[in-house]
Structure 1
């Protein structure tokens, strides 16, 4: 039997809006810490959390009063908040049938009060600012208005981050254009220098002293420009091993995936491993949507892998091709998929089911993956047998 969980009518559009921010959920704490603390101060609560809700998980990108990084979406109060237009207030969680048996109510931290405000972008609720306390209470109207202002500022900062990332991408494009220009001028300059050298070598026969002097100057100037071009290209090659804000390399990619998804695997008792191709582990590539694509595949694999099973991620960057090609494969040891189920996923018509431990199925994780891969002009393949399933993504870089 499939449990019904609250899902916005525009869920696919909602998670697509979130994916457009291209957020790395692991490195935002410092940027929102001040707002989280301010919100707790305004509300008079012990705890304040800033969370973004994707297909499977609520990611806590910053907080005050509680150390927590992620929560399964179906275990949160905030999954109900993103269904609201304005806010959700629950004065006593222990009196609400939806939450009174939840561990965060019956055990430490023994929460009672909840107040949540949706974080809105382009008309979609991508996350929440939530206030929590161990005592039941009710907020005064003037405080709620201040909290809404703080929630708007959180979204504004997210939009600023998005804009900066776009600008970084544009700067990268400009750098690539400069690189191309340098390559383009090398040919003509080399020709000029070669011609000048030939004329210089035959100059005595031509008896053109003034021309020879002029040609020698061209020769020297041309060599200087060519040396400058080599310096620029050399500098560009030296910087390619560094990872800019809008890039990843396989080593950094693996570290981020382990940080984000090892906790999910441990909670369920699953072995989670990430392997990379060592020969290209430091070659940079754009991080555009990669965490969203791979993260949804990993969460889906964990969902359908029983306790004691394995989820393996393999990341391979082939740098000999033009363009480079990134191959991502996620393999689980679950019950596998039928050909009909595989076809439905590829066609975007699959429906949600519960995981092996009754985890929620919201039905849009793999649909999001397929949409993002298509947008990046990649390919998506699924193979399966009784030993599990493998999801493979191939993306030109």
Structure 2
């Protein structure tokens, strides 16, 4: 039986860009939103509530109450319908609705029946996802309860935006604090030497010979010169520590931490598709930091796309590396799959930033914007995208992103 076309908001590309601009880590939001998801269930009188953010391929449950779930395919979700409109979306009985009656969460545990969702509406009328309440029993929400759910949804969006601002401030404060610590540490030595030598001269007084005084002065001059060198280094914004001594700031990954994040987010999708998923790092550079900015959105879309177009028993491999070019570094990300491949015409569409919907190897519905979004984000970071593919023989996406020289 052929599935119906996937519902897509009219402003889908703008919606995905807005979600990418928030640059959220979907695994790190539950603590900040847990109280609101619980409140939503209590207000509605339902067993379950979820805060869902919907990207190109996946519904990410960033906070939940009553049902332990992290993600599901967008095409299987009910919330994909909620983000189509401005008001709430209600399904009185999921088991009686042709769109949902055969979904796994209806036909088997937890055997859901009732759904009510409220769009998580950001600025300019863009829906990032949905706050939804669900139950295994039928319900009837009063207008007062619906209004309270909308208020909670607004607060969720406010918190997401606030978290973005707080993260930016934390990065700035962290950088300033680290610089102060480094400066204090590096200045303490030369200053201590100057003070110590001056004390010796003072305590010995007339007992010092001219030769000894000249030697003390020479040492003081040497310590003072060290401080001047340090000042020049700070003013020229040079690195103070070697790369392998730099601790990760809140706006940084290294290859090890990025690998862990990717495996946590996308292994469930690969397992569900029965595809082997792996992430490899370069041993000689794996501990060097680089910017997080938009990386999860870029690489996540490429990995989800690769899984979607790789048949059962195939593989999706991600390779991470970092190389030095003059005073800067370039992060290289390669996503390789053994999937169905891409035609030259489709590659041209991707490189021009245009989206076109196609279905995956198991009939997964395409939304047509994932790779267009990737190209947009890479361009915004002054990066480069290369696509190599042959129909029937898999595809390799290679992303190169320049890193600022200060991230040494």
TM-score by length of 1: 0.86
Query: 139, 142, 154: which is aligned to 1:140?
Result: 142
- C-alpha distance in 2 between matches for 1:247 and 1:158: 20
Query: 270, 277, 297: which is aligned to 1:265?
Result: 270
Asked if structure 1 preserves the Cα contact closer than 8 Å seen for 2:110 and 2:136, the reply is yes
SS of 1:111 mapped into structure 2: coil
Asked if structure 2 preserves the Cα contact closer than 8 Å seen for 1:341 and 1:350, the reply is no
Superposed, 1:46-125 pairs within 5 Å as 46-122=47-123, 123-125=125-127
TM-score by length of 2: 0.84
Match of 2:350 in 1: 345
Match of 2:152 in 1: 150
CA-to-aligned-CA distance 1:134-164 (integer Å, 9 cap, x gap): 0011111111111111111111111111112
- C-alpha distance in 2 between matches for 1:283 and 1:378: 19
Match of 2:188 in 1: none
Aligned residues, how many? Answer: 373
SS of 1:331 mapped into structure 2: strand
**Deviation for aligned residue 1:94:** 1.3
- C-alpha distance in 1 between matches for 2:284 and 2:393: 30
- C-alpha distance in 2 between matches for 1:280 and 1:360: 38
* RMSD (Å), alpha carbons: 3.1
Query: 349, 359, 364: which is aligned to 1:354?
Result: 359
Superposed, 1:235-384 pairs within 5 Å as 236-237=241-242, 241-319=246-324, 321-384=326-389
**Deviation for aligned residue 1:299:** 0.4
**Deviation for aligned residue 1:347:** 1.0
Unpaired segments ≥5 residues, structure 2: 185-213, 404-408
Asked if structure 2 preserves the Cα contact closer than 8 Å seen for 1:2 and 1:353, the reply is no
Match of 1:201 in 2: none
- C-alpha distance in 1 between matches for 2:114 and 2:367: 26
Aligned in 2, Cα 1:35/1:329: closer, same or farther, shift over 3 Å? Answer: same
Aligned in 2, Cα 1:107/1:376: closer, same or farther, shift over 3 Å? Answer: same
1:219 aligns to 2:221 (yes or no) = yes
Unpaired segments ≥5 residues, structure 1: 183-211
Asked if structure 2 preserves the Cα contact closer than 8 Å seen for 1:273 and 1:311, the reply is yes
